[in-house]
A and B are shown apart, each in its own frame.
Chain A
Amino acid sequence: MSKRIEVNDLNCFYGKFKAVEDVSMTIQPRSVTAFIGPSGCGKSTFLRTLNRMHEVIPGAYVEGEVLIDGNNLYGPGVDPVNVRRQVGMVFQRPNPFPTMSIKDNVLAGYRLNKERMKNSEAEALLEKSLRSANLWEEVKNRLDKPGSGLSGGQQQRLCIARAIAMQPEVLLMDEPCSALDPISTLAVEDLVQELKETYTIVIVTHNMQQAARVSDETAFFNIAGTGAPGKLIEMSSTEKIFSTPDIKATEDYITGRFG
């Protein structure tokens, strides 16, 4: 189910503003890749190009190619809707649909696929997804209650359950813990470790300890200054980035001597 991602010479734009310049990288299947870097360096923008969510913003567009197992996401005739069904996403702030029950939230993506699902199948998928997100025990007696009634950490795990119910090939996480308390953060990090057995995971984080804890590979992004595009500075195994990075800027950022 997990796939390898290859990015070649990717540029991201917001109208005339070039936000990310010339990124090339390879992301291994069944691994966790972390993007780190200062605010505004384009790591979230870049992440959103991996499921074509970048272009949702008016005026935003992308140059270059993103290959998932050799298929270019930006090739002619590729429907972004299909891309997003294969590449799941978890956002910075938990965003379960407030008007839907916990159950409907988890099954929301699946129901978009027109095919009719038997009730028993739906129940099975619901339980499997919630169990994978380590949420089942907490919500199994209140599946028909609104998802917005859960705590922040539970809501975020609900969003993860919603994303993996689609059985995506890749799971993108955009600072998934930035709105959570330390205990919920730990729960999500443990979950990431379990999920990488099945999925290719890309996670953006501001928290360097988190990157060191959860990821196998780390990519460091940086900007030269305000208005300049963000660039990929260095990408390597997490161990190397956090001990002996090749580039001075990476070391400065890691050790807090940045800026």
Chain B
Amino acid sequence: MTSVTQSTREVTPTPTPEHPVNKARERIGDRVFSGLATGSGVTILLILAMVAGFLLVQAFPALATSPAELEAKGYGQFWSWILPFAWGTVYASFWALLMAVPVAIGIALFISHYAPRRLASSLGYVIDLLAAVPSVVFGLWGSMVLAPAVQPLYLWLNTYLGWIPFFSGQPSGTGRTLLTASIVLAVMILPIITSLSREVFLQTPVLHQEAALALGATRWEMIKMAVLPFGRAGIVSSVMLGLGRALGETMAVAMVLSGAPVITLEILTSQNPNTIAAVIAQNFPEAYGLKTNQLIAGGLTLFVITLVVNSIARLIVSRYKEFSGAN
């Protein structure tokens, strides 16, 4: 904005008595506010740049050291070390999203279009409260309450649906498996997806909803025709925020899972791939020297994974831009 105003000012001809130039007066409030807004924008970029810089600089030694040397110190080659954890991170988040997204959108639609107004507002409030629970509490709940409770279900899944690769293998006796971690993650990301989707659904223009109803749409058909398409970009954004939280979640996963460096599709066994964030948290206290660098390189990998996933989501949204209704 500032540059535009400046360039306009430059081409403005000098005022003559016949042509008084309609120059906008600089108002002090405008200048202060634009300064504040620009400053905030610059700050977030700076913070991001500093984090990225820290990760790059600190990760560099681990990435530059020859595989043989890492091997000799017992840390393992970087890629073969990080790969199972990267897999565990993405895989656990995938299951968490698979469980959380349909439920979250269902709750959001219930609040925005089905529930009586009084129930809707109190329900929305309760959902938002869920977001305030610290993740360590979720971790405790997951390992002490949820894991033993779902263990019989895992046995059942393994016995009757064991032919599906996800449910095969030797089921864990404690219930502290990747699926349990994913359920905890799902509960944790539920509030953010629900809140944001609800806001988007509530903003669907009445005009479009009535257009659908007047064509003889039932309520569900109206939601399919008007509400969900209108909210698509918002849903994707909320899912991305939820995914960001799931990918980076540390405590809850660390407390539920006793992870191992394995890559597997099985989610009910006691041999579970750990997540990057949990590995960093579990190993950092005793790490020194090159090991620290290696862990930070793990953090860099997580950063890149999040970036890639977000970019893909943006790409999907922008493909439908023409039909977003923004024009």
Contact = CB atoms under 8 A, between A and B. Distances in A.
A93 B11 CA distance: 42
Contacts of B323: 98-101, 146
Interface stretch (A13-21, A25-33, A81-89, A201-209): A81-89
Given A56-B210, A93-B207, A108-B225, A99 B216 contact: no
Interface stretch (B24-32, B75-83, B182-190, B226-234): B226-234
A149 B325 CA distance: 9
B214 interface: yes
Given A81-B216, A99-B229, A166-B216, A159 B324 contact: no
B295 to A, nearest CB: 45
B3 interface: no
A148 B327 contact: yes
Given A95-B211, A99-B230, A146 B217 contact: no
Interface of B: prevailing SS: helix
Summarize A's interface: helix, strand, loop or mixed.
mixed
Given A53-B213, A108-B215, A98 B221 contact: no
Contacts of A51: 214
A81 B117 CA distance: 23
Given A99-B229, A99-B325, 20 more contacts: A53-B213, A53-B214, A56-B213, A84-B213, A84-B215, A84-B216, A85-B215, A91-B210, A96-B211, A98-B324, A98-B327, A99-B323, A108-B215, A109-B216, A145-B322, A146-B323, A148-B325, A159-B211, A163-B214, A166-B215
Nearest to A165: B215
B218 interface: yes
Contacts of A259: none
Contacts of B207: 91, 93, 95
A81 B225 contact: no
Contacts of A162: 211, 215
Contacts of B211: 91, 95-97, 159, 162
Interface of A: 51, 53, 56, 58, 81-85, 88-89, 91, 93, 95-101, 108-109, 112, 145-146, 148-149, 159, 162-163, 166
- Taking residues whose C-beta sits less than 8 angstroms from the other chain, chain B's interface range is 20 to 34
A115 to B, nearest CB: 13
Nearest to B327: A148
A108 B211 CA distance: 10
A95 B210 contact: yes
Contacts of A56: 210, 213
Pick the 4 closest A-B CB pairs, nearest first: A98-B325, A85-B216, A99-B229, A109-B215
Contacts of B213: 53, 56, 84
A82 to B, nearest CB: 7
